[in-house]
Amino acid sequence: MKKHFASLILFVMVSVGVYYFLGPKDLYVAHDCQIQETGRCTSSLEGVQLNFELLPLPINPTSELTYQLDVDGIEVEKVTVRLLGHDMRMEEQQIFDLERKAGNTFAATRVFPLCTEEVMLWRLYLIIEAKNLTLRTLYDLRVKRG
């Protein structure tokens, strides 16, 4: 009985180790960009470089905003933007995918949501999915109404 229990424990430990080292990874990419000042942010992690653009600036509610991402270092399968009103009473959000334009360049143009307050904080989550890897990063956007 003790041998079977020890074998089971060993099997579980090996399985967890294999999954940890060979299974899908979910990584957060930190940056110190002030994207609303330049419209661009470059960040990198583990050999992957992200070049993200938001244009035109300043961001105006109910106006079109173009989101573009160029990725170097991995083959990207899907890019999703989740834009969430961070400090609102109602949870206003947009979720959409960026379309592949060429190679590892993805873009979309969407109308930015309406601000109900004079100044609102929006949190933009960027999710980049590749084989066995998901990269996430976020940007805080302070948007003034009209």
pTM over 0.75: yes
Domains and CATH numbers, the chain: 25-144 (2.60.40.1930)
Series of mean pLDDT values for 10-residue runs along the chain (146 residues): 59 48 75 93 94 96 96 96 79 89 96 85 95 95 87
In contact, 43 and 31? CB cutoff 8 Å: yes
Which of 11, 16, 115 has the alpha carbon at shortest distance from 60? 115
Please tell me the predicted confidence (pLDDT) of residue 5: 57
**Pairing, β 40-45 against β 76-85:** unpaired
What's the confidence (pLDDT) of residue 9?
A: 59
Angle at 62 between CA 60 and CA 63, to 5 degrees: 60
